[in-house]
Structure 1
Amino acid sequence: MSRSWERKVQKNQSQINKQRKKHGQAPLMAAKSGGVKLDTFKGRSYLMPAFLLLFILFYVIVTVTSDTYKQTGNMFWLTVACYVILALLFTLRRPYLSVGSDFIRSRRFTGDRSIYVNNIKAISSQKGYIVVEQHKGGNWVFSRVMNRFPTDQMAERLRTFSAQHGISFTEK
């Protein structure tokens, strides 16, 4: 089945589900789930929140010990609160890698992105790191040190994914 046909079916099914929801009926089976199994591996981001908290601590110490502290108003504390909230946001938004039937999806800095099989050049694995090389665009690096990914389990799943689609998989 072509992708455009699948998109049309998903679009029509989502419209029908919206109508059924308005009438209080149960939604039809979602077209997105349609038997597609996703293996998701979640990490934990701790370096960026730690950096932000250290930065705001430095900012508070420098500002409070200066002579101009008395002139700072509520905007100073609002800025501190915003940085703390941003650090909390980075902590709660966990990075992940999802492996589907013909794509790999991950949360990048700008949002969720997918790489389809025809754009994957190679996948390499070494202790603590997974690198997905693309034909166009930068490489995706998943690190055990940076984001606490379970790289051993990811390597096993990506090995079977690459064998399925004829993508070169190297282990160093």
Structure 2
Amino acid sequence: MARSWERMVQKNKNQLNKQRKKQGKSSISSMSNVGSVVSGDTFKGRKIALPVVLVLLACLYGFLGIASSNVPGNESLNTPTMTWFIMGAYILLGVIIYLRRPYLLVGKDTLQTTRLNRVRDVSASKVTNIKVAKGSVVIEQSGKGGNWVFTRLINRYDIQAMGMRLEEFAKANNIPFEK
């Protein structure tokens, strides 16, 4: 659906729900994301590398900020308060990235993951090949979008369990599978 159409449907649904609430009836359930809900096996990872780099950058920035504030004649905008604020922001960003777990959801005929803070789906008809190596899984797609790469080193996925489930997915949907 077009976005303007979705907004119009949402607006009308909200108005109807207000009327139904006044009449004492139950509200209409949300139908906006029914098509994007996928059920299946979820494989969750954990981002470790980027949060560690951000915390190390915060420490480096703090060290340089403290060292530069001790230099005589340096009246810059770099105040100790600003240094501590920026260090805290880097550490907070690292914690947020650490807590947001990447995932791969394998459904009956759909794969789903997050890329750049958006949920991405790919149907089995658009998957051209699935490759499972010792420490990584690569899902190749036709058309727009690049390959999806899931690694044990960077995102701490359980590659062995993911590979077995993707092998079943490939057999069920006639997709070439490589080990």
Give the TM bin, normalised by the shorter chain.
Answer: 0.7 to 0.9
Q: Report if the CA contact (8 A) 1:63-1:69 is conserved.
A: no
Instruction: Pick the aligned partner of 1:126 from 133, 148, 152.
Output: 133
Q: Which residue of 2 aligns with 1:80?
A: 87
Task: Structure 2: state its 5+ residue gaps.
Answer: 1-5
Q: Report if the CA contact (8 A) 1:45-1:91 is conserved.
A: yes
The letter of the residue matching 2:53 is F
Q: CA deviation at 1:143?
A: 0.7
Quick one: structure 1 residues 169 and 70, their matched pair in 2 at CA, closer, same or farther if it must change by over 3 Å?
same
Instruction: Pick the aligned partner of 1:138 from 120, 126, 146.
Output: 146
Quick one: structure 1 residues 79 and 69, their matched pair in 2 at CA, closer, same or farther if it must change by over 3 Å?
farther
The share of aligned pairs that are identical, in percent, is: 31
The answer on 1:94 being equivalent to 2:101 is: yes
Structure 1 distance, partners of 2:87, 2:102, is 25
Q: Which moved more, 1:149-158 or 1:62-71?
A: 62-71
The letter of the residue matching 1:129 is S
For residues 36-115 of structure 1, the aligned pairs below 5 Å read 37-66=39-68, 67=71, 68=74, 72-73=78-79, 74-115=81-122
Deviation by residue 1:104-157 (Cα, 9 ceiling, x = unmatched): 111223422111222211001011211001113211111111111011111111
Deviation by residue 1:40-74 (Cα, 9 ceiling, x = unmatched): 01001100000001111111111211224885233
TM-score by length of 2: 0.75
The letter of the residue matching 2:163 is A
The letter of the residue matching 1:43 is G
Larger of the two Rg values belongs to structure = 2
Quick one: structure 1 residues 56 and 162, their matched pair in 2 at CA, closer, same or farther if it must change by over 3 Å?
same
Task: Structure 1: state its 5+ residue gaps.
Answer: 1-7
Instruction: Pick the aligned partner of 1:150 from 155, 158, 165.
Output: 158
Structure 1 distance, partners of 2:88, 2:38, is 42
TM-score by length of 1: 0.78
Partner SS for 1:94: coil
Partner SS for 2:57: helix
The answer on 1:116 being equivalent to 2:118 is: no
Q: Report if the CA contact (8 A) 1:124-1:130 is conserved.
A: yes
Structure 2 distance, partners of 1:160, 1:41, is 15
Quick one: structure 1 residues 157 and 96, their matched pair in 2 at CA, closer, same or farther if it must change by over 3 Å?
same
The letter of the residue matching 1:72 is N
The answer on 1:168 being equivalent to 2:179 is: no
The letter of the residue matching 2:153 is V
